[in-house]
Chains A and B, each alone.
Chain A
Amino acid sequence: EAQLSESGGGLVQPGGSLRLSCAASGFTFSSYAMTWVRRAPGKGLEWVSTISGSGASTYYADAVKGRFTISRDNSKNTLYLQMTGLRAEDTAVYYCAKDGAVGDGYSDFDYWGQGTLVTVSS
């Protein structure tokens, strides 16, 4: 069974940077698109970014475009989210999620990590 485990969250000042990691196991990592989703306090789920299985294609929400970078290392079965220019409104629990079908996305998110909390505050 697939397992995902996020790390790298914490407290950061506005304008600061943070890199999140998501370690994957239990499936052929390189065959599946991967996605970051966040949930801010009192809000609903918000899509952040998706990367294809090969890493060749990346997609971003307008709210993070130009500030966040998604990447993956298929040799290490690890997904990353480099976050720069952080703002108070980026405060949220960040989840990594696995696409439900082999390919480059467009499917459901069938496995999720437990999330890592990012707090942006001075």
Chain B
Amino acid sequence: SYVLTQPPSVSVAPGETARITCGGNNIGSKSVHWYQQKPGQAPVLVISYDSDRPSGIPDRFSGSNSGNTATLTISRVEAGDEADYCCQVWDVTSDLQAVFGGGTKLTVL
């Protein structure tokens, strides 16, 4: 089955840029979606189809996807960005299934 690998944690100071990676075999050939989840809350879609921002998501959030790595970039990080971030793709190699990365805890120092 398809595996997505994320770093368990990323730490940045306010105002800096956070980059969260999502690794997978030839992930560049798939569409990657990113979700933000804060404690006790439902996940929120922050980036879809590699780099599209849903309505209401600040333009500080951006995404890219190439080769074996997709990246979520959060510019000018704010305290309110502290959350878990998770990437997701669809795998259709055997049967349709959604695959989530293990998630990355973003800590704002």
User: How many A-B contacts at CB < 8 Å in the complex?
Assistant: 63
Note all chain B residues with C-beta closer than 8 A to A106: 90, 92, 96
Q: Is B102 touching A110 in the complex (CB atoms < 8 A)?
A: no
Q: Say which size band chain B's interface belongs to.
A: 20 to 34
Note all chain B residues with C-beta closer than 8 A to A109: 33, 35, 43, 45, 88
Q: Beyond A44-B84, A45-B86, A45-B103, is A110–B97 a contact (Cβ under 8 Å)?
A: no
CA distance A105 to B102 in the complex (A): 22
| B109 CB–A CB distance under 8 Å | no
Q: Is B45 touching A108 in the complex (CB atoms < 8 A)?
A: yes
Q: How far is the CB of A95 from chain B (nearest CB, A)?
A: 6
| A91 CB–B CB distance under 8 Å | no
**What number of A residues sit within 8 Å (CB to CB) of B?**
24
Measured CB to CB, the nearest residue on chain A to B91 is: A47
CA distance A50 to B88 in the complex (A): 14
Note all chain B residues with C-beta closer than 8 A to A107: 48
Q: Is A108 touching B42 in the complex (CB atoms < 8 A)?
A: no
Measured CB to CB, the nearest residue on chain A to B44 is: A112
**A-facing residues in B68-109 (Cβ within 8 Å):** 84, 86, 88, 90, 92, 95-103
